[in-house]
Amino acid sequence: MKKLKYYFLAAGLALAVCLFSFKEDLFLVSKNLDIFASLYKEININYVDDTNAPQLMKIGIDAMLDSLDPYTEYVPESEIEDYKLKYVSTQYGGIGAATVLIDGKLFVNDVSEGYPANKSDVKPGDQILKINGIEIKGKDRTQISQLLRGPKGTPVDLTLIRDGKEIAKKLNREEIKQPNVSYSGMVGDGIGYIKLDKFLENSGQEVKDALLNINKENPKGIVLDLRNNGGGILQEAVKIVNLFVDKDQLVVIQKGKNAEKTITYKTQALPISQSVPLVVLVNGNSASASEIVAGSLQDLDRAIVVGQRSYGKGLVQQTFNLPYNSLVKVTVAKYYTPSGRCIQKLDYAHKDINGIAERFADSTIAMFPTKAGRNVYSGNGVYPDVVVNADKLSPVTITMINKSLFFNYANAYWKKNPKLESAKAFQVSDADYATFVNTLADKDLTYQSRTERLLSDLRVEAEKENKSAEVKADLENLKYKLTSSKKNDLATHKIEIKRVLETQIVSRYFYEKGRIEQSFQYDKELAAAKNLFTNQTQMLAILKGDGNYKVIGKPVKETASID
C-alpha cells in the first residue's frame, strides 16, 4: 500500500511537470507572437520608406522556416495552385506545351501528344510573341505559365514566328494530365518495365494498371524504375509496395514528436505480383517515397535494388491550413523501413556555423537485418544491392545543354528529315554529328573544366604559401596544355554529346515515349537488371546475403547530393 502511494505521488509529480512544461511552452509561444506582431506593426507604421506588408511578412516567415529544413515551407494563396500541381495533383488546364527562354526569346521546346498544342500544329522551335494579345517580352516563367494555364475549355490565342513568318494559332485549353507512370511495357527478353516519375494522386492505381497489363505477357522479371523520382505521397508508396508483397506486411513507420504523428503503415490487400522476380532502379535523385518503396522491398527481400545510392530523405511532411487560404507544409516525422532503419542523410537539427546541415557522422550509422538476415544500414539513403556507377556529363556537354545549343539543330534535322523509322534504334550518324559541330562555330562555348577549377585552387594555395614564383612557370605550362586540350572536347566527348542530341531529335518525332524507348539502348542500369533475370543463381545469392553490393563499372568517388 505504501509503494502504491509512492507510485501515485510519482505519477502526480510527472503530470505536474508535464503540465508546467506545457503551460510554459504556451506562454513562450504567446509571448513571442505578441513581440512579432508588435514589431511588424511598428515597422509598417513608422519605417521611413513605404513597405510592402505582405512581402515583408513572407520574408520573415521564409527566414524562420529556412532555419529548420528545406521541406518546411509557407505557401501563400497566390501559390496554392502551383503547390498542388507540384505535390498533389497531376492535372491542370493548359495547352500541353513546354517552353524555353533563349536569349530573352520564348520558344516552344516540347509538345505533348494528343493535347491542344499538338492538335493545332504548334511545333517545337516556334517562337511565341504573344499569348491572348499580351506580349511576353520581359515576362518571367511564372507570368508566362499563368498566361498559358487556365480553366478547361477557355481559349488561348498564340502569335508565333515560324521560319521568319508570323502566324496565329487559336486553341482551347484542355485538362492536361501528367501521368505518374510515364512508360510501361515489355522491353525485350521477357522483361516488364514500369517507369514511375512521381508519387502524386493515383500513382498506386497507375502502377497497378501497368502491372496488370504486363502480367498478361507472363514476364520472367519486372523492373520498377524510380530513378529521378523525387517522391510524393507516402500512402501511394505503401500501395505500390502492396502490389508486390502479401497482405498485412509492415511497409513503413513514421515517428514524430507528437504521439499522433507516429503511424504504422501495413499492406492492406492481396498482391497482384508476389512471386515474379523484381528489380528496383534508383539513383541519387530517387528520394522520399521512392526510398520508402526501394527500402521496404529491399528490407522484405522482395526486390534487388540496382543503381546508385539514393538521395537520403527520411522525413515526412504534412500540410496545415492557415487563414486567408494559405497553408504551411511542416516536417512532422521521420520514417523507418521494415528493418527499423531511417535513411535520412542530413542532420538539420545540427548545422555548421554557416547554417548548412551536415551528414550524420559515420559513427551514428547502424546496421539492421532484412527479413532474411541481410545487412542494411541507416543514414545516407538506400544503398543498392548491385551498384552501377553513373555516367557524369562533361562540362562541355553541360554548357551546351544550359545554352540550348542542341535545340536549333534538332529542329533543323526534323525539317530536313520529315520521317524517322524508329525511336528504339535511332542513332546520330558521324556525318550528322560533324554537321552539328559545324553549327557551333560561332557559338559561345566558354566553360571551366574540372581540371581548370583545380588549377585555379592550386594557384590560390600557392599564393597563400608564398610559393607563386616557384611554381608560376609550371602552372602557366599546365594552363596552356589544358586550353589546348579543351579544343578537342567535342571529339573527346563525342559519344555523350551524340546521346543528348539523339534525345532532342527523337522527341520531335515520337514525344516522351520515344525519348524513353530510344534511351534503352544505352541504359546500363536496365542492362544490369536484365542480366540478373538471366542468372537466377546470382539473384538468389544476393537475396540471401551472399552476393550483395556488387559493383558494375569503374568506381567513382562518391559526392554529396545537394538538397
Task: Identify whether residues 239 and 304 lie together within a single domain.
Answer: yes
Structure confidence by residue, pLDDT tens digits, 158-182: 999 999 999 999 999 999 888 999 9
Where residue 123 sits, what CATH number does that domain have?
2.30.42.10
Predicted local distance difference test score (pLDDT) of residue 461: 75
Predicted local distance difference test score (pLDDT) of residue 480: 52
Task: Identify whether residues 283 and 351 lie together within a single domain.
Answer: yes
Predicted local distance difference test score (pLDDT) of residue 449: 65
SS3 category, 159: strand
Question: Do the beta carbons of residue 198 and residue 180 sit within 8 Å?
Answer: yes
Task: Identify whether residues 161 and 231 lie together within a single domain.
Answer: no
Question: 141, 162, 177: which is the final residue of a domain?
Answer: 177
pLDDT confidence bin for 482, thresholds 50/70/90? low
pLDDT confidence bin for 494, thresholds 50/70/90? very high
Active-site residue flag, 310: no
Share of the chain above pLDDT 90, in %: 63
Predicted local distance difference test score (pLDDT) of residue 258: 85
160 occurs within a structural domain: yes
Q: Which of 299, 301, 489, 523 is catalytic?
A: 299
Question: 177, 206, 224: which is the final residue of a domain?
Answer: 177
Task: Identify whether residues 373 and 256 lie together within a single domain.
Answer: yes
Structure confidence by residue, pLDDT tens digits, 495-504: 999 999 999 9
Predicted local distance difference test score (pLDDT) of residue 560: 27
Q: Which candidate, 292, 289, 353, 285, places its Cα nearest to that of 562?
A: 285
Active-site residue flag, 442: no
Structure confidence by residue, pLDDT tens digits, 78-131: 888 888 878 877 778 999 999 999 888 999 999 999 999 999 999 999 999 999
Distance between CA 294 and CA 341 in Å, rounded? Answer: 13
Task: Identify whether residues 137 and 286 lie together within a single domain.
Answer: no
Task: Identify whether residues 228 and 278 lie together within a single domain.
Answer: yes
Q: Which of 286, 288, 378, 561 is catalytic?
A: 288
Active-site residue flag, 299: yes
- In whole angstroms, how far apart are CA 503 and each of 326, 431, 514, 517, 522? 40, 17, 9, 10, 11
Is 138's pLDDT higher than 50?
yes
Task: Identify whether residues 316 and 254 lie together within a single domain.
Answer: yes
Residues 6+ away with beta carbon under 8 Å from 547: 538, 541
Structure confidence by residue, pLDDT tens digits, 215-228: 999 999 999 999 99
**294 vs 33, higher pLDDT:** 294
15: phi > 0 → left, psi -120 to 50 → alpha, else beta; which? alpha
Q: Could you give the number of structural domains in the chain?
A: 4
Q: Which candidate, 171, 193, 378, places its Cα nearest to that of 295?
A: 378
Q: Does the CA dihedral 557-380-525-540 come out positive or negative?
A: positive
Distance between CA 144 and CA 99 in Å, rounded? Answer: 9
Structure confidence by residue, pLDDT tens digits, 240-267: 999 999 999 999 999 998 888 899 999 9
Q: Which of 32-36, 498-502, 557-561 has the lowest mean pLDDT?
A: 557-561
Is 412's pLDDT higher than 70?
yes
Q: What are 128's three cell numbers?
A: 511565341
243 occurs within a structural domain: yes
**553 vs 458, higher pLDDT:** 458
109 occurs within a structural domain: yes
SS3 category, 253: strand
CA–centroid distance for 408 within its chain: 27
510 occurs within a structural domain: no
Query: Which residue segment(s) compose the domain that 255 sits in?
Result: 181-391+544-552
To which H or E segment does residue 331 belong? strand 326-336
Distance between CA 311 and CA 384 in Å, rounded? Answer: 12
Task: Identify whether residues 370 and 254 lie together within a single domain.
Answer: yes
Task: Identify whether residues 159 and 272 lie together within a single domain.
Answer: no
Angle in degrees, CA 526, 402, 164, rounded to 5: 110
pLDDT confidence bin for 10, thresholds 50/70/90? very low
Angle in degrees, CA 325, 327, 330, rounded to 5: 170
Is 140's pLDDT higher than 60?
yes
For strands 155-162 and 127-131, give the pairing.
antiparallel
Task: Identify whether residues 339 and 209 lie together within a single domain.
Answer: yes
Q: Which candidate, 305, 371, 310, places its Cα nearest to that of 340?
A: 371
**258 vs 547, higher pLDDT:** 258
Task: Identify whether residues 346 and 386 lie together within a single domain.
Answer: yes
Structure confidence by residue, pLDDT tens digits, 191-207: 999 999 999 999 999 99
Average pLDDT taken over every residue of the chain: 87
Question: Do the beta carbons of residue 356 and residue 407 sit within 8 Å?
Answer: no
Is 73's pLDDT higher than 80?
yes
Predicted local distance difference test score (pLDDT) of residue 15: 41
Is 478's pLDDT higher than 70?
no
Predicted local distance difference test score (pLDDT) of residue 452: 63
Where residue 189 sits, what CATH number does that domain have?
3.90.226.10
Task: Identify whether residues 59 and 138 lie together within a single domain.
Answer: no
Predicted local distance difference test score (pLDDT) of residue 548: 47
Question: Do the beta carbons of residue 80 and residue 325 sit within 8 Å?
Answer: yes
Question: 128, 156, 177: which is the final residue of a domain?
Answer: 177
528 occurs within a structural domain: no
Query: Cβ atoms within 10 A of the Cβ of 230, count?
Result: 17
Distance between CA 180 and CA 409 in Å, rounded? Answer: 30
21 occurs within a structural domain: no
Predicted local distance difference test score (pLDDT) of residue 2: 44
Q: Which of 195, 313, 345, 486 is catalytic?
A: 313
